[in-house]
Homo-oligomer: A and B are copies of this chain.
């Protein structure tokens, strides 16, 4: 007999003998009967197991079962008289595989997310973190499904890099030397013969891929050595970066919209139970928000229009609104939540606040950047059409004080078969936060890395 997943059993019709491997979520011991809710992590709901005194180990073992104990159950799948569940298991055999210590920290009561972070080796056993991990998994698959369906090739860009994708951003250094230095002369003796870092973005390498395979995407870990202790920052996070040859800004906007709609739709289709859990326990609007993204056409405006709207809003923002300054989170949320009331794509930002690789518009004041803003989260996607004209790219590098020698291969792409191309980046954890409504980004990744924390 092959053991069954709880998620599958809960959908089955009553009948037949089943075997379950799992852990006790709750155990209630009545006089002549024990009710044991068993979970195997395959769904937010466990399955109820009924044990009666005819079991040989009823008094000794079954009645001593506690939350967290591992067990193997064999029994009949019967119709459940209880509400909220169609089936339950009338046990023929209950075997405790592994007990729990008296100090088992996950008791029945609810725990704060802060506390659960300290026991990240156990927290995935809770309803909320288990649901997060399943939604995370479904989102990951939804992303692959979208891009593969559109003929993209997944490209594994390197984690260890000698270049800095943005000409900015604090980076982690990678070394095998004791007393290691970032000085190029000293680093000549290091593993890679030069200073090496953890990547902040796979974009530049993805552009290499797009210039050969037309449509590529990366999906991998990226790093920021910023000393940010906020609910929206991680030192290590996963990022998705599609890059497409022969694509302009308009095409890029359309791609981002189709992508987000597709992923949100997949989550509602494949994770309904978990999403209902989030709507019930974490963020009331969780499901509505996804449905809203799927249904509503995204609004679009330029940065210049956005600034005018903000200036005319009469709002007293903490940060001043001024053409040439970057939009702050409060501005973004006003625009998407209050002004347009749906997802919004802001395009054509001032050249001075955007990286060198963005396509310069004819006005020479703005570049073909785009940010996708969504209610409750603000910016979820940032992208651009890339500068593919060699002379302008060289000027932009100089402008930002970046040495051409470090970008020789990036410039080479503009020398040989250069084409208009575009792409964007999506922080995977931001997406999971958006979908689940989880307030802190540390609770949507299995083992968060933040300043002072690399435990587990």
A194 interface neighbour in B120, B130, B192, B454, Cβ under 8 Å: B454
Interface assignment of A104: CB less than 8 Å from any CB of chain B: yes
The listed residue (B3, B24, B416) touching A246 by CB distance below 8 A is: B3
- Contact of A446 with B221 in the complex, beta carbons under 8 Å: no
Q: How far is the CA of A94 from the CA of B301 in the complex (A)?
A: 34
A408 closest partner in B (C-beta): B121
Complex Cα spacing A295 to B159, Å: 37
Name the CB-closest residue of B to A204.
B456
Which residue in chain B gives the minimum CB-CB distance to A192?
Answer: B454
> Is the beta-carbon distance between A454 and B161 smaller than 8 angstroms?
yes
Asked if A328 is an interface residue, CB under 8 A from chain B, the answer is no
With a cutoff of 8 Å between Cβ atoms, the chain B residues found around residue A196 in the complex are: 454
For A101, A156, A211, which residue has the most chain B Cβ atoms within 10 angstroms? A156
In the complex, the answer to whether A221 meets B161 with C-beta atoms within 8 Å is: no
Q: Bound complex: CA of A27 vs CA of B11, how far in Å? A: 60
Q: Which residues of B sit under 8 angstroms from A179, Cβ to Cβ?
A: 179-181
Contact B416 A101 (CB under 8 A): yes
- Shortest C-beta distance, A451 to chain B (Å), equals 6
Please give the distance in Å from A387's CB to the nearest CB on chain B.
13
Shortest beta-carbon distance from A358 to chain B in Å: 18
CB < 8 Å neighbour of A7 from B68, B151, B238: B151
| Interchain CB contact under 8 A, B172 and A174 | yes
Give the distance in Å from the alpha carbon of A68 to the alpha carbon of B211 in the complex. 10
Query: C-beta contact mask, A397-423 vs B, less than 8 Å → 1, else 0?
Result: 000000000000110111111111000
Q: Closest B-chain residue to A152, C-beta based?
A: B137
Min CB distance A71 to B, Å, is: 9
Q: Give the top 3 A-B pairs by smallest Cβ distance, nearest first.
A: A41-B213, A124-B212, A98-B418
Chain A interfacial positions (CB closer than 8 Å to B): 3, 5, 7-8, 21-24, 40-42, 68-70, 72, 97-101, 103-104, 120-122, 124-125, 129-130, 133-134, 136-137, 140-141, 144, 148, 151, 153-163, 170, 172-176, 178-182, 191-194, 196, 198, 205, 208-209, 211-214, 220-221, 223, 225, 227, 235-236, 238, 245-246, 388, 409-410, 412-420, 445-447, 449, 451-456
Would you give 12 A-B contacts (Cβ < 8 Å), ordered by A? Answer: A21-B419, A40-B214, A97-B246, A97-B420, A98-B419, A121-B208, A141-B144, A144-B144, A159-B236, A172-B175, A205-B456, A409-B455
